[in-house]
Structure 1
């Protein structure tokens, strides 16, 4: 059973699915102990090479590898990586980043990329949701700094939802709760998956670290499919999750967490597949920092004639429900 494959324009390997919705916004549906292996070459120097054997002097080779010390060192590096993610979420007042979300469950798959920018205090927030599997099914969510409103710009695929290009509603994206923000929410949920997997300590879990040419660090570990599903990193409809065999949920999916040379967070990516008796789950989900935001990330505030105002929560809930139904 083959799922639809998607080649994102960013050049990532083709992995399909995602959810078009920004999650964590009310009324909007779908956005330490473990075995560690560090491979090190150890060299025992022959005595003859040192010219000491004939003298009868005892010469010791290099000390034997200490697996426990290696495990602890890698464990500390992973701790530092998770802490760097948390610091990015809590302290980033001016940033730009990209969330990518692709998944296939059996033959059902889609994908999306989300560009998010935040700048200033009070903050202006711009989120652009691009479907990579349904052309034209894009929309933006814009919160002007200090505004009581959020504005949603509808792409061609959603044009029938309103008679105007923009829809307005009571602001939520101005919340000070960082993990509720689009993009940052994905980081929070991926942190949860790492923590849950480390606590569960499933067989085969390991971590490796690698120094990059630019001085950065790659940390390679894994999460369980169960941790990914429990954290709703990608909200998946119940009729789709029922296709996932229970024996699949304990299996591991590779994760790569990258830090800059100064220890700050750069990127995280979950990328791999889980095979079951009757199907397959394939995921590529992550977040990549894109530096500071700039003023041209934000459009002018729409004029009243360009906007359809949603008067209350019921209207907002109905709007997001209809948007989700159009995508299916």
Structure 2
């Protein structure tokens, strides 16, 4: 089951990419930008700006779960049984179905349409989510077709999956992006719902296959943006030969509205985007560790990669989070 196919992306792999977003994720990160990815089943999203106020969804809801809400109509999620009748009859997409079952053949057909773009700049397809490896058979079937046609394949993974699922897919994947949210297992559990032991072990085992891996950490001010955490992750990365890059991703709240659309509370509501200075200091702190092993840490802004050498780090006794505007 997928929830989006994004074309002409310049992120998540080399060149122009087609990103296939699969539904279902074992983690529940408090800041998740794609909350619609977490459940492995279809969901109803509410988009009030599209509503024309006809009221048909309310009139025809079998569970009487839809009610007037200002100039539009809201869903009582406690009454909703996800029958999706409202999404079937809404002519404007104000009630939108997120998640659809598509065969590997149908998905590959969409990917193959853009093969000429891939050929121009070494682009390809990236499997994302959610966690793609909750649906390993789908990923495997598509990746095999891509490999047969010479299309580069990459995968984003949270790492919280059975290694046997990784094992069957890895021969058809050219590179991977894997997240480490926090090096402390208990803080990792607090932030995501699970500890990180399985994730770290999977990274080690995948690296042993020779797979090129980029490690990423979303920088969430007040939660995981300490120098201690970033250098702890860097120390884990340093001896692993197939990891050459460590990317820090500054927090953004682009997914905030999606929580409202799903009838959920956004737990990162008070978090602010880290300042450029805070990001530079964290990258420099990571490079203080990684430079010794020939690796680099960077962050990206306006599609430009910034590698800040350790010499630019301003050393303080306090965590780098103090540099951020809270």
Q: Is this a same-fold pair by TM over 0.5?
A: no
Whose strand fraction is larger, Structure 1's or Structure 2's?
Answer: 1
TM-score range relative to shorter protein? under 0.3
TM-score, scaled relative to structure 2: 0.25
Whose helix fraction is larger, Structure 1's or Structure 2's?
Answer: 2
TM-score, scaled relative to structure 1: 0.25
Choose 1 or 2 for highest CA Rg: 1
Bigger relative contact order, structure 1 or 2 (CA pairs below 8 A, ≥6 apart): 1
